[in-house]
Amino acid sequence: MSRAGGTAAVERAAEETETGTEAGPPAARPLRVRNLTKRFGGLTAVDGASFDVEEGSLTGLIGPNGAGKSTTFDCITGVRRPDGGSVHLYGEEITGLPPYAVAERGLVRTFQIARELKEMTVIENVMLAPKDQRGERLWRSVLPGPRRAVIEQERELRERAWETLEFFEIDHLAEEYAGNLSGGQRKLLELARALLTDPHVLLLDEPLAGVNPVLEEKLLGRIHDLRAEGYTFLLVEHDMDVIMNNCERVIVMHQGRVIADDAPAAIMEDERVIDAYLGANV
């Protein structure tokens, strides 16, 4: 589907390898996190976390409950202001930027608890997402002449919106209010919505939680399709099998720190990881 987004990410990477040196050495990295720290009162939820995400990869981010994964996402996307450290997106520092500015630069996230807009229909939800909509200018959506151009663009977007819903196989729900969707369908909607912003990098916070196995297969299939188109994914997931079977690299967090960052097979063997999970389970 959405050719625009997929190829854009690839082109962007290509562009940056050509002009590479300009933005400094790690320019082509979609995401570079260094010493990220976030404290809630006395609790350090993220404690100097550092990691990279490679272009076009599907990277897993795992860790026991409360390890600081969601908080890391919040700090990267500007939902929370980190107390320390830095975040770079394609070499550009985005630390502490407001969420809309981060999203505008091509980094979009989904939420652990789906935040669908309940009183808007599914198609309305996804139509919200595309960037640079002409009609988001007040005067354009009001004045007769410019409004024609707005309507024209809305038609194009509507087409893309329907295609995206078809891609996620929720097009039969297009006119349903999002509040009436099942948990799994909400997750699909969130992902569809995030994709329509034409992102380069997607941070998915437990997109499979509450999704039934059939839908889970489908969703993973979609993620692989998109990755093949050049999107970069960072995926938080509790199901080890999913992580091991789908990610080429896994970052493990524990008590706010990154304790391992390796290929899935190596992670399985890692003493610290086993301890962290065992420790958390006792």
Ligand X SMILES: Nc1ncnc2c1ncn2[C@@H]1O[C@H](COP(=O)(O)OP(=O)(O)OP(=O)(O)O)[C@@H](O)[C@H]1O
Tell which one of 10, 23, 28, 79 touches other proteins (CB under 8 A). Answer: 79
CB nearer other proteins, residue 185 or residue 246: 185
Q: Which two tokens stand for residue 224?
A: 């692989």
Instruction: Judge contact between 95 and 80, C-beta under 8 A.
Output: no
CA torsion through residues 49, 201, 109, 244, sign: negative
If one asks whether residue 112 binds Mg ion (CB under 5 A), the answer comes out as yes
27-54 core/surface letters (b: 16 or more CB in 10 A; e: else): bbbbbbbeebbbeeeeebbbbebebbbe
Using CB under 5 A as the binding rule, whether residue 255 contacts Mg ion is answered as no
For other proteins, which is the closer residue by CB, 48 or 135?
Answer: 135
Beta-carbon contacts of 124 under 8 Å, excluding residues fewer than 6 positions away, are 117
Q: Look-up: residue for tokens 């999704």?
A: 211
Task: List the single partner that 44 binds among ligand X, other proteins, Mg ion, none, CB under 5 to 8 Å by kind.
Answer: none
Check: CB of residue 130 under 8 Å from CB of residue 195: no
Residues sharing a CB contact under 8 Å with residue 66, sequence separation 6 or more, in sequence order: none
Structure tokens at 26: 């790690």
- Contacted by 108, from Mg ion, other proteins, ligand X, none: CB < 5 to 8 Å by type: other proteins
* Residue 56 or 63 having the CB closest to ligand X: 63
Angstrom CA distances, 51 to 10, 94, 259, 270, stand at 21, 15, 11, 17
Structure tokens belonging to residue 158 = 């509507």
- Residue window 52-81: x/- pattern of binding to Mg ion, with contact defined by CB under 5 A: ------------------x-----------
Q: What is the binding site for ligand X (CB under 6 A)?
A: 40, 43, 45, 63, 65-71, 112
Q: Which is nearer to other proteins, 155 or 265 (CB)?
A: 155
Nearer to Mg ion, 170 or 208 (CB): 208
**18 vs 132, which CB is nearer to other proteins?**
132
Minimum separation from the CB atom of position 272 to ligand X (A): 16
- If binding is defined by CB under 8 A, does position 193 make contact with other proteins? yes
Residue 50 or 133: the one with the smaller Cβ distance to ligand X is: 50
Binding span for other proteins by CB under 8 A among 28-36, 118-126, 241-249, 274-282:
118-126
Indicate whether 12 belongs to the interface with other proteins (CB under 8 A): no
Query: What is the distance between the alpha carbons of residues 251 and 67, in angstroms, rounded to a whole number?
Result: 12
Site for Mg ion (CB under 5 A): how many residues? 2
Which residues of this protein are in contact with other proteins, per CB under 8 A? 77, 79, 98-101, 103-104, 108-109, 111, 115, 117-121, 123-124, 127-129, 131, 133-138, 141-142, 147, 150-151, 154-155, 158-159, 161-163, 174-175, 177, 193-194, 197
Which residues of this protein are in contact with Mg ion, per CB under 5 A? 70, 112
